[in-house]
Chains A and B, each alone.
Chain A
Amino acid sequence: MSEHIVSKKIYYSIFATLMVLTGVTIAVAFIDLGRLNTVVALTIAIFKATLVVLYFMHVRYSSRLTWVFVGAGFFWLAILVVLTLGDYATRGWLNGAK
């Protein structure tokens, strides 16, 4: 597998997308959506991060093994957050339930 060179056009369009999404993040933060504010902010942030990983960091054009490394990292992060929050969310279900 030879080295893939990402074209400048892709870099510039990713850059433009990231900038626009930053603007959207700020704009949405000033609108009251209740709990959805956090959901929207995080969704945009995750989308931006994915763009950076796939294109700026070339993962889209990398080997399967690189995908495994990257995927494992974020999978473990998911375990950290989901299990901890699962604990916090369900405390009191056994004792304090009414």
Chain B
Amino acid sequence: MEQQREAGTLGMWAFLVTEVMFFGGLFLAYILFRGKYPAEFAAASKGLDWILGGLNTAILICSSLTMALAVYYAQLGTRRLQITFLVLTMILGAAFLGIKFVEYKQKFEHHLFPGVGFKWEGADDLHHEQAGGQYMGDQGAGLGQPGSRQPVEGEVSPRNETLGGSHEPERLDPNKVQMFYWIYFAMTGVHALHMVIGLGILSVLVFMARKGRFTKEYHSPVEISGLYWHFVDIVWIFLFPLLYLIGRH
């Protein structure tokens, strides 16, 4: 029995090591592009909402605690509390995804999703626009950037030197800003996918626990699912400061 438990844990860790490699590649892409375009990355980072990001960090840490407690009560064989904490973990996970959805929606509305519709007007204008409720899509040149450009729908020109306003001390290349948003959507998107899978695993656990499958002696599924959940939390611990908090000072 002991050996089986050990094997299960090791198997999960073997999988998590491949996950480290998977996210590691994305982090490496982030490091290289940030090293190449530091000014654009800092400016683009300001376009993200650090309050929502910070709230999500707190939610995920709470969910890690409830997951750890679910494992704790599984080890003690206390079924009711085990189910309670599994459900709490699911609620927190769903809250995380809900906030993430709101953030994505804002990015789409501000044309910050990379692709043909991508538009960058500067982070300050972004907030200005939010306050005024004015839509930048129709009058891109009207946001305090006199004579900067003629907005053509769906076009991102490769080298538009005047974009971003000639009055600004440093000119930011919107294509490099867009690179930040590529990485942002790729990394948080894959992370969110892991959260969705985690929620699926947790619902199976709740189902199994209700049927009384877990005992004080046998609860490996709860434990190794916990490993997975904590790993996803760790990824976010790195994503939050690297995506939301650069260029705040």
Contacts and interface: CB of A to CB of B under 8 A. Distances in A.
Nearest to A11: B68
26 contacts: A3-B75, A11-B69, A15-B64, A18-B61, A18-B64, A19-B58, A29-B50, A29-B245, A29-B248, A41-B241, A45-B238, A52-B233, A53-B230, A56-B233, A57-B231, A63-B6, A65-B10, A66-B13, A69-B13, A70-B13, A72-B17, A73-B17, A73-B20, A77-B20, A81-B31, A88-B32
A-B interface, 5 closest residue pairs, ranked by CB to CB distance from nearest? A73-B17, A29-B245, A32-B249, A41-B241, A69-B13
B73 to A, nearest CB: 10
A12 B65 CA distance: 8
B224 to A, nearest CB: 10
Given A18-B61, A29-B241, A73-B20, 12 more contacts: A6-B68, A6-B72, A12-B65, A15-B62, A26-B245, A29-B248, A33-B249, A41-B241, A52-B233, A57-B230, A57-B231, A88-B32
A38 B245 CA distance: 9
Interface size for chain B: under 10, 10 to 19, 20 to 34, or 35 or more residues?
35 or more
A83 to B, nearest CB: 10
B246 A37 contact: yes
Interface of A: 1-3, 5-6, 8, 11-12, 15, 18-19, 22, 25-26, 29-33, 37-38, 41-42, 44-45, 48-49, 52-53, 55-58, 62-63, 65-66, 69-70, 72-74, 76-77, 80-81, 84-85, 88
A18 B62 CA distance: 10
Contact of A49 (B67, B72, B238, B246): B238
A94 B76 CA distance: 63
B104 to A, nearest CB: 22
Interface stretch (B21-29, B168-176, B181-189): B21-29
Contact of B234 (A30, A49, A76, A81): A49
Given A2-B2, A3-B5, A77 B24 contact: yes
Nearest to A76: B21
Interface of B: 2, 5-6, 9-10, 13-14, 16-17, 20-21, 24-25, 27-28, 31-32, 35, 50, 54, 57-58, 61-62, 64-65, 67-69, 72, 75-76, 223, 226-227, 230-231, 233-234, 237-238, 240-242, 245-246, 248-249
Nearest to B244: A29
A12 B249 CA distance: 32
B234 A52 contact: yes
Contacts of A81: 24, 27-28, 31
A53 B235 CA distance: 12
Contacts of A8: 69, 72
Contacts of A33: 249
A12 to B, nearest CB: 8
A49 B239 CA distance: 12
A54 to B, nearest CB: 11
A69 B237 contact: no
Contact of B249 (A6, A37, A72): A37
Contacts of A56: 64-65, 67-68, 226, 230, 233
